[in-house]
């Protein structure tokens, strides 16, 4: 058996075990396995404009900083401009701040008209709501933040070279909520709303690759990384796992790789640690192609496209 085959087995084993692959250990081991995909070349993004949403905290900051290091012109999309300006000053280079609440589709339309040409768009903004709330347009906030706003923004910013949806391994536990995307039925739990909408992101990726044939469309999940988001929304989990969590730069690794490596990775896939991964770990989350298409049709109608 070759070292490459052994390496792929180990890589898959880490993925299936979840607790082996998602913390910093998973990335550290994979980096040493034969066949680990090469880093993007230095200067790979010179002359490119990259937009990162949710760039005022955690993985968004690390992602934006790594893109700036690769020579990109970077736009930090934030809700709090003062917070964004502090991040931009810390990163340095051609990094500027743009305000947008990505859950508010009117704000997304305004933003898309003002930003100019974009090459790479990273949908990193994410939220785990404490209670059910709705946007000015009446959409449940997790759905609007993770799916509706990003869908509309991507469509309005075409042509794009690449778009990356930062999803979550939490989506592996949830089915596509086609019967109730706005989470109007049953007891509302923020963690469930989060995972359901992260599942929608991943289910839409192959269809979005068809919708935008000139764009490399990727979904990914970062593993478990120590960020203000994790500490604030999952304090128990954070306390328990803190010594094992990735740092933000490690959590951003695959996003940056997907955005900058040449040639571009294949479109329409779901990634973790620089490898395409199955979007399902258990059979009961599987959906038909017709269901995920219907989900996209529903979302397209919901944002008025």
Ligand X SMILES: NC(=O)c1ccc[n+]([C@@H]2O[C@H](COP(=O)([O-])OP(=O)(O)OC[C@H]3O[C@@H](n4cnc5c(N)ncnc54)[C@H](OP(=O)(O)O)[C@@H]3O)[C@@H](O)[C@H]2O)c1
- The catalytic residue positions are 194
Tell me which of 26, 40, 206, 222 binds ligand X, using CB under 6 A: 222
Contacts by 27-36, CB closer than 8 A, 24 or more apart: 27/223, 27/246, 27/250, 27/253, 27/273, 30/273, 30/274, 33/7, 34/3, 34/4, 34/7, 35/4, 35/7, 35/8, 36/274
Q: Restricting to residues 80-99, which ones interact with ligand X according to CB under 6 A?
A: 80, 83
Tell me which of 14, 52, 59, 72 binds ligand X, using CB under 6 A: 59
- The residue among 7 and 190 lying less far from ligand X, judged by its C-beta, is 190
Q: Is 76 helix (H, G, I), strand (E, B) or coil?
A: strand
* Contact stretch for ligand X (CB under 6 A) within 30-38, 206-214, 223-231, 267-275: 223-231
Interaction between residue 280 and ligand X (CB under 6 A): no
Indicate if the alpha-carbon torsion angle 216, 221, 222, 223 is positive or negative: negative
* Contact stretch for ligand X (CB under 6 A) within 37-45, 53-61, 66-74, 183-191: 53-61
Among candidates 192, 158, 157, which has minimal Cα distance to 175? 192
Tell me which of 50, 88, 230, 299 binds ligand X, using CB under 6 A: 230
Interaction between residue 251 and ligand X (CB under 6 A): yes
Instruction: Tell me the closest approach of the beta carbon of residue 212 to ligand X, in angstroms.
Output: 20
Interaction between residue 129 and ligand X (CB under 6 A): no
Tell me which of 27, 65, 73, 102 binds ligand X, using CB under 6 A: 102
| CA distance linking residue 265 with residue 217, whole number of Å | 9
- Token digits for 296? 């996209």
Interaction between residue 228 and ligand X (CB under 6 A): yes
Count of positions on this chain that bind ligand X (CB under 6 A) = 29
Interaction between residue 126 and ligand X (CB under 6 A): yes
Q: What is the CA radius of gyration of the chain?
A: 18
Interaction between residue 21 and ligand X (CB under 6 A): no
Classify strands 269-272 and 275-276 as parallel, antiparallel or unpaired: antiparallel
| CA distance linking residue 242 with residue 244, whole number of Å | 5
- The residue among 71 and 77 lying less far from ligand X, judged by its C-beta, is 77
Tell me which of 60, 129, 259, 265 binds ligand X, using CB under 6 A: 60
35: left (phi over 0), alpha (psi -120 to 50) or beta: left
Interaction between residue 225 and ligand X (CB under 6 A): yes
Cβ neighbours around 298 below 10 Å, total: 14
Among candidates 126, 128, 161, 131, which has minimal Cα distance to 147? 126
Interaction between residue 227 and ligand X (CB under 6 A): yes
- Applying CB under 6 A, the residues found at the interface with ligand X are 53-54, 56-60, 79-80, 83, 101-103, 124-127, 145, 166, 168, 221-222, 224-225, 227-230, 251
């Amino acid at each position: 058996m070759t070292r490459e085959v052994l390496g792929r087995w180990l890589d898959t084993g880490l993925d299936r075990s979840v607790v082996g692959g998602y913390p910093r250990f998973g990335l550290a081991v994979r980096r040493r396995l034969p066949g680990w995909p090469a880093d993007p070349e230095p200067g790979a993004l010179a002359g490119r404009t990259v937009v990162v949403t949710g760039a005022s905290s955690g993985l968004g900051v690390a992602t934006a900083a790594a893109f700036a290091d690769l020579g990109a012109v970077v736009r930090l999309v934030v809700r709090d401009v003062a917070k964004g300006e502090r991040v931009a000053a810390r990163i340095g280079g051609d990094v500027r701040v743009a305000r947008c609440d990505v859950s508010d589709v009117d704000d997304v339309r305004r933003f898309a008209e003002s930003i100019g040409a974009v090459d790479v768009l990273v949908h990193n903004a994410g939220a785990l709501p404490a209670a059910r709330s709705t946007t000015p347009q009446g959409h449940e906030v997790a759905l609007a933040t993770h799916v509706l706003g990003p869908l509309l923004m991507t469509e309005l910013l075409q042509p794009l070279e690449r778009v990356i949806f930062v999803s979550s391994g939490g989506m592996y536990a949830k089915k596509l909520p086609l019967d109730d995307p706005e989470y109007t039925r049953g007891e509302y739990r923020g963690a469930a709303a989060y995972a359901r909408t992260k599942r929608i992101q991943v289910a839409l990726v192959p269809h979005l690759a068809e919708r935008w044939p000139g764009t490399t469309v990727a979904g990914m999940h970062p593993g478990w990384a120590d960020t203000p988001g994790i500490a604030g929304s999952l304090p128990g989990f954070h306390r328990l796992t803190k010594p094992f969590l990735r740092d933000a730069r490690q959590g951003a690794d695959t996003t940056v790789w997907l955005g900058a490596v040449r040639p571009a990775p294949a479109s329409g896939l779901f990634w973790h640690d620089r490898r395409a991964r199955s979007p399902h770990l258990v059979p009961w989350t599987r959906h038909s192609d017709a269901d995920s298409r219907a989900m996209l049709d529903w979302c397209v109608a919901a944002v008025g496209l």
